[in-house]
Amino acid sequence: MPKKVIVIGAGPAGLMAAERICAQGHQVHVYDAKASACRKFLLAGVGGMNITHSEPYDAFIQRYYDKADWLDRAVREFNAEALQDWIHGLGIETFVGSSGRVFPKDMKAAPLLRNWLKRLREMGVVFHMRHKMLSIEAKCARFSHESQEIIAEADAFVLAMGGASWPKLGSDGSWQLALAKHKVVIEPLKSANCGFYSPWSDFLKEKFAGSPLKGVSFRCTTTEGLVVSKKGECILTQDGMEGSLIYAFSKHLRDQVEKQGKAQLVIDLLPQLDHSQLVKKLSQRKAKESFSKYIKRTLNLGGVKVALLHEVTRPEDLSAPEKIASSLKNVVVHFDQVKAIEEVISSAGGVCEESVTEHLMLKNMPGVFCAGEMLDWEAPTGGYLLTACFATGVLAAQGVEQYLQS
């Protein structure tokens, strides 16, 4: 007998759950607070949507940090290959970029979403937009819709209401109140893949805010004492740093700020040269040559890199080749604050592993499942976020099927 299932949240996780549950023969209704589906997914497509990553699975799953074991069940089954096959099934080609990241061929989210929504409607999924969930009980949810309150009943629910970044796109984390009432354990939502604040000098702000810091390597020590390093680039902003390399360190830096009140990052401005190569190049300083001319001539270094070096280095540590080489490889930057969750790419925290079964059903609310970014995991950019959202949508749908059969 087909049953009625309500999916709340028309993002990638919710729509994937809806598709799978509908394919099982059930009647699926999708509710969302916004007027249209997948607003954040569409925004992700603006700068080139990175849907997943082509690296080997063992490396891939470790991108979910301490939640790798928990997500393994979902991501192993609906892995990068399965996700690409699914996209191809929607008539969208993909390609692997030089970094191993996987993109739709046109880099956009809109054509994929258009084809997907068409398919969902043809399958019989019914959409109820502008319905904001206020509360949920066993077998019924309460929504606000155009100043009215609506009660909707179902045999099972999938909640996929996202994290709390970019709340104007629909995911504002308001579901936390509704679930806390049922004693669901929720790790507070916090910024992930985010920039950090550092109080730069007026000189650095005025002259170099907005400058890209290219070809550098970042190093930091995690709160567990591990040293992590990575090459890449980021942007020096008016009040700190933004960009892909700093985002890749955001979990570690955020943990440091939470634990110690500030975070420390070490920048190697010239990772392509080792210490002795630098000393050798720096060994011939001309008489009366200024520091900026000397460093430009010997290392072809200038602009924001030299400004940052001066910003954090004592003059006596720039007095001899040995010392300059060490300083170039150890530019220590401190951050005192994490960018606000409203401005960042994704959020960490959410419904904890201990609150759900292995198929993501809330232990305190039988028949209510969770999927996507509202679960307590995080990952760097690189397609890992969307992969886990889709994969947990698939796993929750399997759980719904089992639950409805029992």
Interface pick for ligand FAD out of 6, 21, 22, 33 (rule CB under 6 A): 33
CA distance 31 to 26: 16
Q: Which residues in 227-266 contact ligand FAD (CB under 6 A)?
A: none
Beta-bridged to residue 157, according to DSSP, are: 6, 368
208, 276, 284, 320, 330 from 324: Cα distances, Å: 22, 11, 13, 6, 10
Please choose, out of 161-169, 207-215, 230-238, 240-248, the segment that lies near ligand FAD by the rule CB under 6 A.
Answer: 161-169
- The verdict on 378 binding ligand FAD (CB under 6 A) reads no
Where does 138-283 show beta strands of DSSP type E?
Answer: 140-145, 148-153, 156-159, 186-192, 196-197, 211-221, 227-237, 240-242, 263-268
- The verdict on 189 binding ligand FAD (CB under 6 A) reads no
Interface pick for ligand FAD out of 9, 104, 195, 350 (rule CB under 6 A): 9
- The verdict on 176 binding ligand FAD (CB under 6 A) reads no
- The verdict on 41 binding ligand FAD (CB under 6 A) reads yes
Tokens read off for 260:
């110690």
Give the nearest distance from C-beta 379 to ligand FAD in angstroms: 8
Q: Is 228 helix (H, G, I), strand (E, B) or coil?
A: strand
Interface pick for ligand FAD out of 71, 94, 125, 165 (rule CB under 6 A): 165
Closest residue by Cα to residue 376 from 99, 98, 184: 184
Q: Is 79 helix (H, G, I), strand (E, B) or coil?
A: coil
Please choose, out of 198-206, 222-230, 237-245, 382-390, the segment that lies near ligand FAD by the rule CB under 6 A.
Answer: 382-390
Q: Which residues in 313-372 contact ligand FAD (CB under 6 A)?
A: 345-346, 372
Which is nearer to ligand FAD, 34 or 339 (by Cβ)?
34
Going 307 to 312 to 314 to 317, the CA torsion angle's sign is negative
| Helix H or strand E encompassing 101 | strand 101-104
Which is nearer to ligand FAD, 34 or 190 (by Cβ)?
34
- The verdict on 44 binding ligand FAD (CB under 6 A) reads yes
Q: Which spans of this chain sit near ligand FAD (rule: CB under 6 A)?
A: 8-14, 31-34, 39-41, 43-44, 49-50, 132-133, 160-162, 165-166, 170-171, 174-175, 345-346, 372-373, 383, 385-386, 389
